[in-house]
A = this chain, B = another copy of it.
Amino acid sequence: MSATKLAIVGVGKIVRDQHLPAIAANPDFDLVATASRHGTVDGVASYGTIEALLEAVPEVQAVSLCMPPQYRYTAAYAALNAGKHVFLEKPPGATLSEVQDLVRLADSKGLSLFASWHSRYAPAVEAAKSFLASTKINSVHVIWKEDVRHWHPNQDWIWQAGGLGVFDPGINALSIITHILPRALFITKATLEFPENRDAPIAADIQFSDVTQLPVHAEFDWRQTGKQSWDIVAETEAGQMVLSDGGSKLSINAEQTPVQPEREYPALYERFAEIIKAKTSDVDLAPLMHVADAFLLGRHKFVDSFFD
């Protein structure tokens, strides 16, 4: 199969840092065009909108959608409707219903839709999953605490309704635990803290359970200065497992497990090539469904205003 002609929509930091190197290193894709309000890629034809791109470059076979989630449905619909495979950055949309609608459309057109969860491809995730499958889990604690001023400086969209707030990083944790835990989780209790001047939460405290009443406690906080935490700690019958640094390190009973180098986005594009070849889609809504459930079931508490 010759390389799939790919376009990127929404050229920002994540595209420059992650997508472009992963695409450049993957012989299955050939980047032929971009669409973005501001960003461009050297040497690649650029357009102001996806509609202009689709009209000007009909040979495009697939598009990666990397704009904020509030704008993703319209672009994904246009791309699928024009017969293109679609890669969705995370989260796959601003609402669950719109993503369901895209799944239906992709199915009806025989196209591949990929809801990507990059953290599931972090280096130590599969080893953590194997370990947890080999023992009995007693409890899980998820600590996802970072400094929003450092990681998302002046990103207004992230604070708007639909921008997810602290669930933007938190959904990475959810994408990992829904992958590595043996049974489906559901939320039993949650508290979401909204800054008085913002429409998205700055912190969340969530209790999950599963059918065996496994206690899973997640703490998301965007006000963390100093040491940053992206850790999942499981107490098990075989001892304590710590999956740290966003899935990139694993220790069991304080002993570090050797892992391969980080290659989340290269793995995502390999997966995208694989589902295009297999004529299937890969859309797991579970992480976004838990976020929606947290908003639905959670107490909403207002806290101090937040200023960048």
Contact = CB atoms under 8 A, between A and B. Distances in A.
A186 B97 contact: yes
A295 to B, nearest CB: 4
Given A292-B292, A293-B95, A299 B100 contact: no
A186 B297 contact: no
A96 B217 CA distance: 19
Given A101-B211, A184-B100, A300 B95 contact: no
Interface residues of A, number: 34
Interface stretch (A30-38, A110-118, A283-291): A283-291
A202 to B, nearest CB: 13
A162 B296 contact: yes
B186 A292 contact: no
Interface in A260-308: 286, 289-293, 295-300, 302
B292 A96 contact: yes
Contact of A186 (B95, B185, B289, B302): B95
Given A211-B101, A289-B97, A292-B292, A300 B297 contact: no
Total identical chains: 2
Interface in A139-197: 161-162, 184-187, 189-190, 194
B297 A100 contact: no
Given A73-B186, A77-B211, A292-B293, A298 B97 contact: no
Given A100-B184, A101-B186, A299 B161 contact: yes
A289 B296 CA distance: 10
A161 B297 contact: yes
A86 interface: no
A189 B73 CA distance: 14
Contacts of A94: 296-297
Interface string A73-90: 100010000000000000
Contact of A104 (B98, B100, B184): B184
A245 interface: no
A296 B291 contact: yes
The 3 closest A-B pairs by CB, nearest first: A292-B292, A95-B293, A98-B186
17 contacts: A73-B186, A96-B96, A96-B293, A97-B187, A97-B286, A97-B290, A100-B184, A100-B289, A101-B211, A104-B184, A161-B189, A162-B297, A199-B299, A199-B300, A292-B292, A292-B293, A295-B295
